[in-house]
Amino acid sequence: MAKKKEKPIILITNDDGITAPGIRNLIEAVKDLGKVVVVAPDKPQSGMGHAITIGQPLRMHRVDLFGDTEAWQTTGTPVDCVKLAVDKVLHRKPDICLSGINHGANHSINVIYSGTMSAAMEASIESIPSIGFSLLDYSVEADFTASRFYIQKIVSSLLKQKMDKHLLLNVNIPAVPLELIKGIKICKQAYAKYKEEFDERKDPHGKNYYWLTGEFINFDKGTDTDVWALKNNYISMVPVQFDLTNYELKKQLEKKNLFK
């Protein structure tokens, strides 16, 4: 008799912290597709980028938040969580790593600042296929119905494939009802940025302090970008890489021979 195929192990993390509604909805979406294990930060870690914790030790505690699903909270960053999960919780690589569902957009340049995507990238570096999910709604009352539907579809489809071991996807979901979503569009990262302005204030002692604020500006007018897709009610899916070499500039510099 053929050996029964083992359930895939699905590692889940996020950057909004283990109590955020987004991670609960991600678990709901995929819990029937494999054995889910959650290792997530014990507090919000938005904007942490690819930060890791070097100067301090980490704590990790088992928590009972998601019924039958094994879950751990850590004092670390999203990237720390992935490292801890592999080395100290699973003692092996999961079959896939899912990060999110982030409360708010991680399209375009946000991929670089995003703790959600950095956790996914860490897994990808470790040869674990990985996906970051974000919903374009910051509210704690955000409606995750459409997100759950499409995440289930994407993850179940990928688990049936032979995935590239470095597969890394940045998936953003528009904040519209399920019936308005036109489908999934494979995109490139839009060139957009924030025009920063610091809000300068004085404390009660007369000393200055600064709050980071910024206006999002999309410079990319293409219809092949994630920003375009989301504006047009598509789910955007950007394949991401961790080789940051700019090969075009490399060629140019080699040709110019500036530093000989």
CA–CA gap between residue 225 and residue 108 (Å, rounded): 8
65 CB-contact burial (10 Å; exposed 0-12 / middle 13-18 / buried 19+): middle
Segment interacting with a second copy, rule: CB under 8 A, options 12-20, 92-100, 136-144, 205-213: 205-213
Residue 175 CB, nearest approach to a second copy (Å):
20
**Helix or strand (DSSP H, E) at 186:** strand 184-186
159 CB-contact burial (10 Å; exposed 0-12 / middle 13-18 / buried 19+): middle
Nearer to a second copy, 4 or 161 (CB): 161
Kindly state whether residue 197 participates in binding a second copy, applying the rule CB under 8 A. yes
Kindly state whether residue 180 participates in binding a second copy, applying the rule CB under 8 A. no
Nearer to a second copy, 47 or 177 (CB): 47
- Tokens 């950007």 map to which residue? 238
Nearest alpha-carbon partner for 238 in 161, 132, 127: 132
Kindly state whether residue 206 participates in binding a second copy, applying the rule CB under 8 A. no
Nearer to a second copy, 42 or 80 (CB): 80
Looking at residues 109 to 128 of the shown chain, list those that interact with a second copy (rule: CB under 8 A): 109, 111-113, 118, 121, 125-126
Kindly state whether residue 193 participates in binding a second copy, applying the rule CB under 8 A. yes
Looking at residues 214 to 243 of the shown chain, list those that interact with a second copy (rule: CB under 8 A): 237-243
- Return the number of other C-beta atoms located less than 10 Å from residue 164's C-beta: 11
Q: C-alpha 173: how far from its chain's center?
A: 12
Query: Binding marks (x or -) toward a second copy, 150..169, rule CB under 8 A?
Result: ---xx--xx--x--x--xx-
Nearer to a second copy, 177 or 222 (CB): 222
Looking at residues 2 to 21 of the shown chain, list those that interact with a second copy (rule: CB under 8 A): none
9-13 and 70-74: which strand pairing?
Answer: unpaired
Residues in the interface with a second copy (CB under 8 A) total 76
Q: Which one of 191, 216, 231, 233 is in contact with a second copy (CB under 8 A)?
A: 191
Instruction: Output the CA torsion sign for 113, 130, 243, 58.
Output: positive
Residue 7 CB, nearest approach to a second copy (Å):
21
Looking at residues 32 to 91 of the shown chain, list those that interact with a second copy (rule: CB under 8 A): 44, 46-55, 57-60, 79-80, 83-84, 86-88
- Tokens 């499409």 map to which residue? 150
Segment interacting with a second copy, rule: CB under 8 A, options 32-40, 92-100, 132-140, 201-209: 201-209
99 CB-contact burial (10 Å; exposed 0-12 / middle 13-18 / buried 19+): buried
